[in-house]
Amino acid sequence: EDQVTQSPEALRLQEGESSSLNCSYTVSGLRGLFWYRQDPGKGPEFLFTLYSAGEEKEKERLKATLTKKESFLHITAPKPEDSATYLCAVQAVGNEKLTFGTGTRLTIIP
C-alpha cells in the first residue's frame, strides 16, 4: 500500500527565514510525486510534479527536490502570503489515483 508521511505537522517561521518541509514516501513504482498548496476554505492547488530521483523544480520562492525515498519543499525568504498547508502526494505506476500525506501547516510571521 502506498504511504506518504509529511513532517513537521506545523511550522512557524519569521518572514525571510528559510526552511524545508519533508515528504517521505513508499510506493510500488513511482509515476509522479506531487506538491499542492491549500489555503483555508479552498481546494488544493497544484504546485509541482516530480518524476524521478534527482529532479528539481522551482516556482518563485519554492523549490521541490526528489530522492528515491523522500521529497523536500524548500522555501527561501518566505513572505506572509506563503502561509498555507502544503500537501504531498504520490501516484504509482499503472494507477491514476493520488495518495496524500496529511500536510504541513506553514505560518509566516511578519
Binding site for other proteins (CB under 8 A): 31-32, 34, 36, 41-46, 49, 51, 87, 89, 91, 96-103
CA 76 vs CA 7, 60, 92, 102: distances in Å: 18, 9, 30, 23
Closer by beta carbon to other proteins, 1 or else 14: 1
Q: Write down the least CB distance from residue 23 to other proteins, Å.
A: 13
Q: How far apart, in whole angstroms, are the C-alpha atoms of residue 17 and residue 99? A: 30
Q: How far is the CB of 28 from other proteins (least distance, A)?
A: 15
| Residue 34 beta carbon to other proteins: minimum distance, rounded to whole angstroms | 5
